Amino acid sequence: MVYDAIIIGAGPAGCAAAIILARSGLNALLLETSAFPRHRPGESLHPGVEPIFAALGIASAVKTAGFVRHIGHRIVWSLNAPEQLERFGSDDQGEWKGYQAWRPELDQILLQQAQAQGVTVWQPCQARAPIFNGNQLIGLDTDWGNIQTRYVLDASGRSQWLLRKLGLNTLKYSPQLIVRYGYVHCFQGPSIFDIPLMQRDITGWTWLARVRQERCAWVRMQFDGIDPGRNWRPPQLKDWVEFCPSKGENMTWRISETLATESWFLMGDAAVVLDPASSHGVLRALMSGMQVAHLITSTFRGNISKAGAAGLYSRWLREWFYHDITRLRELYSGKSREPALS
């Protein structure tokens, strides 16, 4: 069997692409190395994600999951400035609310929807190597055997599987930035972290938020790019019980020099990485997966050439990336008075 698309990674980008491809009548194979549930950071989602959930057919499942909701963010960005509450906004239905979408649950919802749409899922299954016919990528060698495909979609996250296997260049737009994150047990009643807090100090910024009824998350990034270390903890949480050891991630701003060709696409963090102050990594993953799927569908229908689809996607994602790094540079240089968490 020759698949229309093989997708590496069952996170938000991979599942979003798989869902749209299957709905369009294309046969997609989704490869995921890890057994679910598995944990990934990145719980905070802007209210603007709701139309995306609806388009993917998971709005009802997300509502049933009962994720923590919040009306905005508390921000202390200018030094010695008072705390400000930045609300998302409202309409005649009431205040808009973001999500603290616990990733093991959100990823499971997306994977179940992909399977419900007819996507073939191999899990746990690891891609080993790309298979070429001349210069053309035609398939993958996997734990479960060799498979042929018309397109390979890499949604492997910051491991950037295809980029590494093909020896592609990554363009870096910042010094090294290490982000450390962790979780603590918190009270199930009302908490000061029910509305997330983004707080800047002389050496960096800290993010604090309730992400489950019994759990709060923290994220720390120092402006000098140095990892604050395993023993660092936000002062507000020093007496709280740690849920698990904190972890550090390399969040240096970077983008693959090549984002797509006539036979493959990079999506989500496999294509672009920015530090969490850009605030919409999961949204970008979902939208990049959907965009790729729509473009591939258009090539099968003869509405656009393969080269045209690759070019459109590359321009779209690059423009988004450059827009975000412009805003981040303004933020860190002091030209922007507060982060735009949207």
| Sheet (strand 215-222) strand order | 84-87, 72-76, 197-200, 204-212, 215-222, 178-185, 242-250
Predicted pLDDT at 280: 85
Percent over 70 (pLDDT), the chain: 97
The pLDDT mean for the chain works out to 93
In a domain, 78, yes or no: no
Asked if 42 and 125 sit in the same domain, the reply is: yes
In a domain, 60, yes or no: yes
Asked if 231 and 263 sit in the same domain, the reply is: no
- State how beta strands 215-222 and 178-185 pair: antiparallel
In CATH, what number is assigned to the domain containing residue 298?
Answer: 3.50.50.60
Asked if 151 and 198 sit in the same domain, the reply is: no
Overall domain count for the chain: 2
Whether the per-residue pLDDT at 1 is higher than 70: the answer is: yes
In a domain, 79, yes or no: no
Tell me: the pLDDT tens digits for 250-295? Answer: 999 999 999 999 999 999 999 999 999 987 899 999 999 999 999 9
Tell me: the pLDDT tens digits for 90-124? Answer: 999 899 999 999 999 999 999 999 999 999 999 99
Asked if 215 and 289 sit in the same domain, the reply is: no
Q: Catalogue the E-assigned strands of 16-165.
A: 28-31, 44-45, 68-70, 72-76, 84-87, 90-91, 94-95, 98-100, 120-122, 127-133, 136-142, 145-149, 152-154
Read off the pTM. 0.94
Whether the per-residue pLDDT at 43 is higher than 60: the answer is: yes
Tell me: the pLDDT tens digits for 183-219? Answer: 999 876 667 788 999 999 999 999 999 999 889 999 9
CA of residue 258 relative to chain centroid, distance: 19
Whether the per-residue pLDDT at 342 is higher than 50: the answer is: no
